[in-house]
Amino acid sequence: MTATNSSITKHPLFKVGIILLIIISGILLVTFTPLGAYITDIKRVRADIESAGIWSYLIFIVVFVVFALFNIPEAGFLFLSYLIFDNIFLAAFINYTAGMLSALATFYAGRLIGAGALHEIKNQRIKRLLATAENNPIRSLLILRTFLMLNPIVGYTLALTKMSPRNYIIGNLIGIMVPIVYITLGMYFARETLFSYFEIEY
């Protein structure tokens, strides 16, 4: 590799561009492939999950994490779990576990691409936002998870800051509880209606 090519690959914008490419690829994957049609067919997914027996929990978590790495929105998976697993509290536990693992996966994937890349950007507004996340990781993650839920972009973006893995993990352990709790409560009251809408036996 020449010195010019080496400098390009080390540039922070190049590293950010790689992550954007991953994100766009995930969107295209769901939009223009049979995968998107499959995951929206609730009855079919539920039947496949039930046929897997006890392995269905592991399969769901693995798929959850893989999709997160491709930045496929996980909000749909959160709601989907309450329709494919009979026990609503088991679904909440599975979502929390999958959410934590996917948060770690996106964070460390981002770190492999280039830790601190966004920190090198000169834009003062971005630097202030990054400084807030780095100095108040738990509060920042609590806010981010409340409004963005388990969106993979959170892990990818914070991976490019100088936030420590320890603070990131602690922040997510607390922050991920928030969307899980309010979605579980909402699904507790709306589950029967949704089962009826998708023509699933309740």
> Does this model's pTM top 0.75?
no
Q: What is the Cβ-side half-sphere exposure of residue 115, based on CA atoms within 13 angstroms? A: 9
Joined together, the tokens standing for residue 160 give 């490019």
Chain mean pLDDT for the chain: 75
Which pLDDT belongs to residue 96? 95
Integer Cα distance of 97 and 84 in angstroms: 16
Can you list the residues of the chain whose pLDDT is less than 70? 1-43, 73-75, 114-130, 195, 197-202
